[in-house]
Amino acid sequence: MATIVQKFGGTSVGDAQRIMRCAKRIAETRAAGNDVVAVCSAMGDTTDDLISLAEAINSEPDRREMDSLMSTGEQVSCALMAMALHKLGVPAVSLTGGQVGVRTNDSHRRARIEAIDPSRMRAELARGRVPVVCGFQGTTPSGEITTLGRGGSDTTAVALAAALNVAADGGYCDIFTDVDGVYTADPRIVKNAAKLSKISYEEMLELAALGAGVMHARAVMFGEKYNVPIHVRHSQKPDTGTMIVREYQGMEDIVVVGAALKPDLGRVSLRRIPNNLGVQGVIFEKIASAGIMVDDIVQTEFGDMASISFTVDHADLADVKIAASHVLDQLGTGELAIEIGLAKVSAVGTGMKSHSGVASRMFRALGDAKVPIHNITTSEIKISCIVPKEHGQKALQTVHDAFNLELGDSVTKVAQRDVAKA
């Protein structure tokens, strides 16, 4: 008997009919002889609606109260899911993050999971019941409700699978969503994108961090750390999806496995700051303490003065502006500038470690398509370019076509031999 954690996203539980379909999936998996733990997101746009309601009352709502409010969305969908399972004759119990033992730090709206006590889940499974767990939330050691931020339900599901050590008995974590797997690019933008049968944690982590919305980076990190196989699949279709695993045969033969687009970025610049030792630590310690993720950091020096720029998601600009202003107050000098209307297009593939010519091929393709490149960053398995937002979708299609990604899993070293000649 395997233990399988099944997570259902907001669109998957968007109405009563969809909830019943998801409940039938749980019942079928359980009838096949498996233990099942279900994790639910809030229904449809519930979380966004709750945020809008709060901001209509107070434009700067208290973060603790926001967590108390936003956590209610998952409670609704989990209770309804448990009711649907009861109707199908499946014993089930809905549980909040706190009830199921998810313990977090006290960073409201961006909490991090610090520990999970699986005893309640194991007890419910031993009683023959399906625990239906609220994703996206937990509690602090003192009992305060917290939410995990973007991608929180994915993170909850994979973390629960890790706590239960599902891989030990052949289990895994199903991530049911409104797409039927991981594609070589967002199929809503790139019409010839191909579904992948498998992808490595390392590649999926890069794609998730770079804008591939099908999985959140934090969830993939949990999967990699605790070796939890993750199956991304469509909630309303029976087809198999994409398995995210540690490694697979021929992984390095595929030079580029996918392309991603982050369509809404802002660039924050701290100008005319002292070019002193340790100034970078002062800046990014303050940014990190606000729970803000940054990338694409560039520093320029002008004698005893310097300028440091970095990109963040548009959604974080308000918070980063406050944190950056505090940094300038601490330094006693400097100017803050914020630029919006940027996007980042990236190519990702483990095969980059052992194949050359990827960067030149990507840059030439973007140049031929007349897409301006503002900034370039690289790692062992990815190349990213900052481009104007209005060129973002065109840039994604260009990169996808440049590496023949429409061939999907069949894009091998043989098919891409000309990359090395670029």
Closest by Cα among 195, 163, 120, 233 to 411: 195
Residue 50 pLDDT: 96
Q: What is the spatial distance between Cα 162 and Cα 121, in angstroms, rounded to a whole number?
A: 13
Q: What is the spatial distance between Cα 20 and Cα 80, in angstroms, rounded to a whole number?
A: 9
315 or 2, higher pLDDT: 2
Angle made by CA atoms 258, 262, 263, in degrees to the nearest 5: 130
pTM attached to this predicted model: 0.82
Q: What is the spatial distance between Cα 408 and Cα 338, in angstroms, rounded to a whole number?
A: 38
Residue 283 pLDDT: 93
Question: How many of the other CB atoms lie within 10 Å of CB of 410?
Answer: 11
Most confident segment among 98-107, 177-186, 218-227? 98-107
Q: Which of 7-16, 287-296, 344-353 has the lowest mean pLDDT?
A: 287-296
Residue 252 pLDDT: 63
Q: What is the spatial distance between Cα 311 and Cα 317, in angstroms, rounded to a whole number?
A: 9
Instruction: For the chain, give the percent of residues with pLDDT over 70.
Output: 95
Residue 251 pLDDT: 62
For range 205-216, the mean pLDDT? 84
How many residues in the chain? 422
Instruction: Please check whether the two domains, 3-178 and 252-422, share a CATH topology.
Output: no
For range 229-247, the mean pLDDT? 90
Beta carbons of 340 and 404 less than 8 angstroms apart: no
Tell me the CATH architecture of domain 3-178.
3-Layer(aba) Sandwich (3.40)
Beta carbons of 153 and 41 less than 8 angstroms apart: yes
Q: What is the spatial distance between Cα 375 and Cα 346, in angstroms, rounded to a whole number?
A: 12
Beta carbons of 26 and 35 less than 8 angstroms apart: no
Residue 56 pLDDT: 96
Residue 361 pLDDT: 94
**Predicted confidence band at 291 (pLDDT cuts at 50, 70, 90)?**
confident
CATH level 3 topology of 252-422: VC0802-like (3.30.2130)
Q: What is the spatial distance between Cα 109 and Cα 294, in angstroms, rounded to a whole number?
A: 17
Question: 418 pLDDT exceeds 90?
Answer: no
Residue 31, SS3?
A: helix
42: Cα separation from own chain's centroid: 17
Beta carbons of 66 and 108 less than 8 angstroms apart: yes
Lay out the sheet containing 382-388: strands in order across. 295-302, 305-313, 258-274, 335-348, 382-388, 375-379
For range 359-365, the mean pLDDT? 95
Residue 250 pLDDT: 63
Strand partners, 138: 146
Question: 170 pLDDT exceeds 60?
Answer: yes
Q: What is the spatial distance between Cα 70 and Cα 56, in angstroms, rounded to a whole number?
A: 15
C-alpha distances out from residue 80 to 3, 122, 214, 308, Å: 23, 22, 24, 49
For range 407-413, the mean pLDDT? 67
The DSSP result for 230-267, as a single string, is: EEEEETT--S--EEEES--TTGGG-S--EEEEEEEEEE
Residue 420 pLDDT: 47
**Predicted confidence band at 413 (pLDDT cuts at 50, 70, 90)?**
very low
Mean pLDDT for all residues in the chain = 92
Q: What is the spatial distance between Cα 172 and Cα 165, in angstroms, rounded to a whole number?
A: 9
For range 350-364, the mean pLDDT? 89
Integer-rounded Cα Rg, in Å, for the chain is: 23
**Predicted confidence band at 415 (pLDDT cuts at 50, 70, 90)?**
very low
257 or 151, higher pLDDT: 257
**Predicted confidence band at 417 (pLDDT cuts at 50, 70, 90)?**
very low
Beta carbons of 186 and 229 less than 8 angstroms apart: no
pLDDT by residue (tens digit) across 20-69? 999 999 999 999 999 999 999 999 999 999 999 999 999 999 999 999 99
The DSSP result for 84-133, as a single string, is: HHHHTT--EEEE-TTTTTEEE-S-TTS--EEEE-THHHHHHHHTT-EEEE
Beta carbons of 12 and 18 less than 8 angstroms apart: yes
C-alpha distances out from residue 61 to 55, 64, 66, 142, 252, Å: 7, 9, 7, 22, 48
The DSSP result for 369-414, as a single string, is: TT----EEEEETTEEEEEEEGGGHHHHHHHHHHHTTGGGGGG--TT
**Predicted confidence band at 214 (pLDDT cuts at 50, 70, 90)?**
confident
Q: What residue spans define the domains of the chain?
A: 3-178, 252-422
Question: How many of the other CB atoms lie within 10 Å of CB of 121?
Answer: 24
392: Cα separation from own chain's centroid: 20
For range 225-244, the mean pLDDT? 91
